[in-house]
Amino acid sequence: MNIYCMAGYGARKLIVGVDPGLNCGLAILTLDGEPILVESHRGWSLSKIIERIISFGETTIVSSDVSPAPSLLERLSRKLNAVLFEPAISMSIEEKHRLTKLYAERYNVKIENAHELDALAAAIKAYQHYKSKFEQVDAKLKEIGDEISPNDVKDLVARGYSISRAIKALKDKGSEKPPILGPVISTEEKMREIIENLTRRLMLERERNRILREANRELHLKIRALETEVESLRNALEKVRSEQVLQIRREREYRKLYEEIRVLRDKIAEQEAQIEAYRQALSRLQSLSGSESREGLILLKPIESFTREGLDKSFKLYNIKVGDLVYIMDPSGGGSSTAENLAKRGIKAVIINGTMSHQALEIFEKYHISVVPASELNIRWIDGLPYADPNDIKRLIKEGKTISSVSNVESLKDIVRDYLREIMRWED
């Protein structure tokens, strides 16, 4: 349990985020967004939650992190006579972590578990939704110099009052509280929710597998709907007086719908093939993740040919990433751009079987990536994958038994010198 603000319980207005369940998370903020309480308890009843909340003040907003809100939050908001806030669509894990991380850093809030995180994210989301209106309340009261409690005005604004109407109601009735109205959603708020919804949907579009499965399901539903429509049209056409018109219309509609069904089935087949390809890729990656080391040896992720196509193939098959060791079985084809593409993956070292171009070696030197000749290593093939002793690789790098652009030039010079000596010997 973490209490952050003890003073002024009384008539203080609250934003309450709740994550219901066996372990109940509770987060309470002021209407200015400052933390009052973040805690969680196991086996809390509704009455216990209400008792805990009212000990800190009067609730203006009860907030959920999912849409629609759970039934417990609906009952809680009614019991507390509070506005129930729910996001346009359920908050993603990424959004909740982002909001709570920034908030915790700003207010030094300690979050103990996922239930507290969800409750706090819900409260922050509600505060951000009303923040602009609440700031307008503060500005208006400062402008008119009135001593009406800003929290009382904000409470009414959250319940659907305009700022001027809320101020007037509080002035006219003094301390008497005006009748509570349900939340009124303005056109601006509707547009904001629509924009937020579309933005979130765009993020979800990147989840490729989920989209493909959803598209597959929707296409199946559409096929069933079209088949039902075909049957409905057949029944309607039976009532047509002219047999000739009946036959023509039936065939026309049937051909049209049959073609749509055929096209949709083709699309389904394509989607299912794509899903299967992703499943196979995922299976390969999962299998590879368990094969990073064998018998004290480390995996050398293989690249068959040092070309753009060869790199792309290995990137997909073996998920080459930061810190990996790669084994180029044919290094002859690549130049500086190919080497740069591989170096930017953050690999630790390159083992090559053969000769590599001077330009490629310069790139690896630029990125401080060691190039080790395969002839200096004892490479073992296990289940079709190359492995080597990591200590041997470290030793070769430490002893300088690596290939560099300078050594390549010196080798070329030696070849030229040998050739010139051979010519001079024959001339003598």
Q: Is the pLDDT assigned to residue 191 strictly greater than 80?
A: no
Q: Where are the domains of the chain?
A: 2-193, 208-287, 293-411
Residue 177 has what DSSP assignment? P
Q: Is the pLDDT assigned to residue 100 strictly greater than 60?
A: yes
Q: Which three-class secondary structure state does DSSP give residue 322?
A: coil
Kindly tell me the burial class for residue 143, based on how many C-beta atoms sit within 10 Å of its own C-beta (0-12, 13-18, 19 or more): exposed
The arithmetic mean of pLDDT across residues 367-372, rounded, is 93
Q: Is the pLDDT assigned to residue 409 strictly greater than 60?
A: no
pLDDT at res. 397: 87
CA distances from 95 to 89, 102, 381 (A): 12, 11, 45
Residue 355 has what DSSP assignment? -
Length of the chain measured in residues: 428
Q: With respect to CATH, is domain 293-411 assigned 3.30.2010?
A: no
Higher pLDDT, 39 or 208: 39
CA distances from 428 to 49, 318, 420, 421, 425 (A): 105, 58, 12, 11, 5
CA distances from 205 to 98, 199, 215, 217 (A): 20, 10, 11, 16
- In angstroms, the CA 339 to CA 326 distance is 12
The arithmetic mean of pLDDT across residues 319-331, rounded, is 94
Residue 238 has what DSSP assignment? T
CA distances from 10 to 4, 5, 162 (A): 16, 13, 25
Q: Is the pLDDT assigned to residue 200 strictly greater than 60?
A: no
Identify which of 184, 183, 157 has the alpha carbon closest to the alpha carbon of residue 170: 157
pTM for the predicted model, two decimal places: 0.43
**Neighbouring C-beta atoms of residue 423, cutoff 10 Å:** 10
- Tokens 């990125």 found at: 367
Q: Is the pLDDT assigned to residue 370 strictly greater than 50?
A: yes
CA distances from 8 to 11, 13, 121, 211, 345 (A): 8, 10, 24, 50, 56
pLDDT at res. 201: 59
Higher pLDDT, 425 or 208: 425
- In angstroms, the CA 336 to CA 360 distance is 5
The answer to whether 117 and 99 have CB atoms below 8 angstroms apart is: no
148: CB partners within 8 A, 6+ apart: 141, 167, 170, 171
Q: Is the pLDDT assigned to residue 167 strictly greater than 80?
A: yes
Q: Is the pLDDT assigned to residue 166 strictly greater than 60?
A: yes
The answer to whether 251 and 240 have CB atoms below 8 angstroms apart is: no
pLDDT in tens, 327-348: 999 998 889 999 999 999 999 9
CATH number of 2-193: 3.30.420.140
Task: Using alpha carbons only, give the angle 105, 108, 110 rounded to the nearest 5 degrees.
Answer: 100
What phi-psi label fits residue 68: left (phi over 0), alpha (psi between -120 and 50 degrees) or beta? beta
Q: Is the pLDDT assigned to residue 179 strictly greater than 60?
A: no
CA distances from 158 to 152, 168, 176, 369 (A): 10, 16, 18, 60
CA distances from 349 to 151, 268, 328, 343 (A): 62, 44, 11, 9
Q: Is the pLDDT assigned to residue 10 strictly greater than 80?
A: no
pLDDT at res. 214: 67
Percent of the chain predicted with pLDDT > 70: 78
CA 198 to chain CA mean position, Å = 15
Q: Is the pLDDT assigned to residue 8 strictly greater than 50?
A: no
Q: Which three-class secondary structure state does DSSP give residue 295?
A: coil
285: CB partners within 8 A, 6+ apart: 319
